[in-house]
Amino acid sequence: MSTIHDRGLRGFASDNYAGVHPEVLAAIAAANDGHQVAYGEDVYTARLQEVFARHFGEGIQAFPVFNGTGANVVGLQSMLPRWGGVICADTAHINIDEGGAPERIGGMKLLALPTDDGKLTPEHIDRDDWGWQDEHRAQPLVVSVTQSTELGTLYSVEELRAIADRAHAQGMLVHLDGARIANAAAALDVPLRAFTRDVGVDVLSVGGTKNGAMGAEAIVVLNPAASAGLLYGRKFNMQLASKMRFISAQLVALFEGDLWLRSARHANAMAARLRSEIEAGIAAGEIRGVGFTQRTEVNGVFATLPPGVADRLRESFRFYDWGPASGGSDQRDSDDRRGGGGPSRGEVRWMCSFDTQPEDVDAFVAELARLTRA
What is the residue-wise DSSP string for 80-98?
A: --TTEEEEEETT-HHHHSS
Residue 60 lies in a domain: yes
Do 266 and 362 belong together in one domain? yes
The predicted model scores a pTM of: 0.94
CATH number at 361 reads 3.90.1150.10
Residue 242 lies in a domain: yes
Do 193 and 239 belong together in one domain? yes
Instruction: Give per-residue pLDDT as tens, 217-238.
Output: 999 999 999 999 999 999 999 9
- State residue 128's pLDDT score: 86
Task: Give the mean pLDDT of 35-57.
Answer: 98
DSSP 194: G
Task: Give the mean pLDDT of 243-268.
Answer: 98
Residue 8 lies in a domain: no
Do β-strands 84-89 and 203-207 pair in parallel, antiparallel, or remain unpaired?
unpaired
pLDDT band at residue 8 using 50, 70 and 90 as cut-offs: confident
Q: How far apart are CA 97 and CA 272, in angstroms?
A: 25
Do 236 and 315 belong together in one domain? no
Do 120 and 83 belong together in one domain? yes
What residue numbers bound the domain in which 128 lies? 22-257
For the chain, list the strands marked E by DSSP: 61-65, 84-89, 109-113, 139-146, 173-178, 203-207, 217-221, 291-292, 300-304, 320-321, 347-351
Number of domains, the chain: 2
Which contacts of 275-282 are long-range, i.e. CB under 8 A and separated by 24 or more positions? 275/301, 277/361, 277/362, 277/365, 278/303, 278/365, 278/368, 281/365, 281/368, 281/369
Residue 247 lies in a domain: yes
Lowest-pLDDT choice from 24-33, 206-215, 323-332: 323-332
End-of-domain residue from the set 227, 257, 287 = 257
- State residue 342's pLDDT score: 40
What strands lie across the sheet with 291-292, from one edge to the other?
291-292, 300-304, 347-351, 320-321
DSSP 234: H
- 192 residue type, one letter: L
Do 229 and 321 belong together in one domain? no
> For 362, what's the count of Cα atoms within 13 Å in the CB-facing half-sphere?
3
CATH number at 99 reads 3.40.640.10
Residue 7 lies in a domain: no
Higher pLDDT, 336 or 245: 245
Instruction: Give per-residue pLDDT as tens, 58-112.
Output: 999 999 999 999 999 999 999 999 999 999 999 999 999 999 999 999 999 999 9
Do 57 and 114 belong together in one domain? yes
Do 201 and 268 belong together in one domain? no
From 369, 53, 48, 354, select the one nearest 214 (Cα to Cα): 354
Residue 221's SS3 state is strand
End-of-domain residue from the set 257, 279, 310 = 257
Do 231 and 356 belong together in one domain? no
- State residue 129's pLDDT score: 84
Helices (H), strands (E): how many in the chain?
Answer: 13, 11
Do 207 and 312 belong together in one domain? no
Our CA dihedral for 13, 149, 354, 24, rounded to 10 degrees, sits at -110
pLDDT at 344 over 90: no
Do 268 and 182 belong together in one domain? no
Residue 209's SS3 state is helix
Residue 3 lies in a domain: no
From 15, 6, 39, select the one nearest 241 (Cα to Cα): 39
Do β-strands 173-178 and 347-351 pair in parallel, antiparallel, or remain unpaired?
unpaired
pLDDT at 205 over 70: yes
Count CB atoms within 10 A of the CB of residue 332: 12
Helix axis angle for 245-255 and 259-283, nearest 10°, is 60
CA distances from 296 to 99, 152, 239, 299, 351 (A): 27, 7, 33, 7, 11
Do 221 and 284 belong together in one domain? no
Do 190 and 126 belong together in one domain? yes
Residue 16 lies in a domain: no
pLDDT at 171 over 80: yes
Residue 128 lies in a domain: yes
